[in-house]
Structure 1
Amino acid sequence: MDRTAARAQERTRSGKLLKRWNAPLAGYLFIAPWLLGFLVLQLWPMIQSMYLSFTDYSLLEAPRWIGGKNFSAIAHDRLFYNSLKVTFLYVLTSVPLKLAVALFVAMLLNRKIRGISFYRTLVYLPSLIGGSLAVAVLWKNIFGIDGFINQVVTVFGITPKNWIGTPSTALGTLVLLSAWQFGSAMIIFLAGLKQIPSEMYEAASVDGASKTRQFLSITLPMLSPVILFNLVMGIINSFQMFTSAFIVTNGGPMNSTEIYALYLYNKAFGTLEMGYASALAWILLVLVAVATSINFVVSKYWVFYESERG
């Protein structure tokens, strides 16, 4: 009898232990595809890139350890500083413009009018193909010397201009292309606008607040967390922008649009300086991390959260 009870107790203990192990095991099995993809496709390439940044590697020969010479060479690289200048100029102009356009369109589409769902779909459609090669080629043709823009300005007696072939205007065409791709930010702004209680606007109207005052005192503060999210994502994406610059201008003219990611690409696959390009990639990671951190630190002075009310 004692043996039977002891066996039953042992089975119960084993069953509890098995259940305790099965619960986390099932969770790990569910996340295994993502975890495997992260380890193989992200973490391992990052480790390799870190190693290659300290080597002389041309893809044709085995990597040769050279220590910090790549970073030392970057510090004296004129084209590196030019790409930084172009990138910061692009980020500082394209991100605010894109957010402003996205917010403006979101406010227009937030109105209760007939067929608004159709209009929202129509406005968002270009963003579905916004980052494709086809759009970049189309944009190049629009701003080309014989493109649509020059055909329009000719009608008004304005002399046609090579917009993408002139250093003073080439980067502006890429900024306009970025602003045209406002769909994702617009959808997020629209969702945020729908979360603002209508009673707040009604109370402000009763108090005699104008539309401008309502926008500044209600819409922007209540929408500030969404603005922060779109701002951070916009900065990250702008620092990594490549396709538009590669297809539309290919860094020209006179390196005026050679944005950081394009310069990195040219070093990696143009001159086969893969170690040098790896060092550039890690510098880009640091730049994005610093920019993101600054945004989060500064956000406490202008971002309003619902939990802070009262």
Structure 2
Amino acid sequence: MIVALVMSTTDMRATDLRNPFNVNFVGLDNFTHILTNAEFLRSVLNTGLFVLFCVPLTMGIGFVLALILNRGIQKLKTLFRAAIYLPVITNIVAAAVIWQYAFTPTGPANAALSTIGIKGPNWLGDPGWAFALVVILGVWRTIGTCMVLYLAGLQAVPPEVYEAASIDGASRTRQLFSVTLPLLRPTTLLVSVLMTVSFLNIFEEPFLLTNGGPLGATRSIAVWVYEQFGFGNTAVSMAGSFLLLLLIGVVALIQFRVLRPKH
């Protein structure tokens, strides 16, 4: 990390790695260049939108599934847990290849739509639909993690608390908002930080599914940094990485301040 930080203040390119004496100190020029780069700013916007859509969806669906598995489903509970968690351990490359095939213009998705008289869109060629597919893939991959963490938090709530609430006449809905959610505040903080950091770092989904396209609609900060490194802009990519690190740190700090348990 120290070496990378030092490199971000130089004009190093990939061709200079074998002869570092050609490298010059440029201070914060790389950071200034990045912050005025239209492609980088677009990637920041895309990353923010990924977080805005993916984190609430992942946490909301994961929490609902955890509630169902904790109190609603008794038979085959282990099987359902495994099925929901399976995408987390599924090879992302294999999953992306299957999704690419499914959403090609002549793929199964459009074939299914054609059977009911609907002409399917160019999923991966349209910026809006491509962005939506990356969001869905990201949510699908991480719901299992949220579900497991929330399930652990729900099982840690003492049954006596619910019994006391029932004796006081609290309905299931009232217990959810007055007992379950307040007691799950530490779990919600953990899940929120983990999911936010995960989607701020989102790389595999947009890179493998759309390669950051079309027209840069799904290029995240991590994809942009990877591209710059591939172009040989070593110092610029390091500077971009540190800007992403600072962004993650600031967002995580805000979350800890807002969601930490009140004493």
Same fold by TM (over 0.5)? yes
Question: Cα distance 1:226–1:151, how it changes in 2: closer, same or farther (>3 A)?
Answer: same
Q: Is 1:47 matched with 2:2?
A: yes
SS at structure 2 position matched to 1:164: coil
Match of 1:259 among 205, 220, 233: 220
Q: CA deviation at 1:207?
A: 3.2
Number of residue pairs matched? 256
Match of 2:249 among 245, 265, 289: 289
Q: Is 1:175 matched with 2:142?
A: no
Distance 2:55 2:138 in 1: 8
- Please show how residues 1-310 of structure 1 align to structure 2 within 5 Å: 46-61=1-16, 62=20, 63-111=23-71, 113-129=74-90, 132-181=92-141, 182-269=143-230, 271-300=231-260, 303=261, 308=263
Distance 2:126 2:174 in 1: 42
Which runs of at least 4 in structure 1 moved beyond 3 Å after TM superposition?
none
Distance 1:83 1:253 in 2: 13
Q: What does the per-residue CA deviation read over 1:18-71, in whole Å, with 9 as the maximum and x for residues that have no partner?
A: xxxxxxxxxxxxxxxxxxxxxxxxxxxx11111110111221123332222111
Determine which structure has greater relative contact order: mean sequence separation of CA pairs < 8 Å that are 6+ residues apart, divided by chain length.
2
**Cα pair 1:101 1:179 within 8 Å, conserved:** no
**Cα pair 1:52 1:278 within 8 Å, conserved:** yes
SS at structure 1 position matched to 2:81: helix
Letter paired with 1:59: A
Distance 1:230 1:148 in 2: 34
Larger radius of gyration: 1
**Which sections of structure 2, spanning at least 5 residues, go unmatched?**
none
Letter paired with 1:163: W
Normalised TM-score (structure 2): 0.92
Quote the RMSD (CA, aligned, Å): 1.6
Aligned counterpart, 1:38: none
Q: CA deviation at 1:157?
A: 1.7
Distance 1:65 1:176 in 2: 43
Distance 1:160 1:186 in 2: 32
Q: CA deviation at 1:220?
A: 0.9
Letter paired with 2:185: S
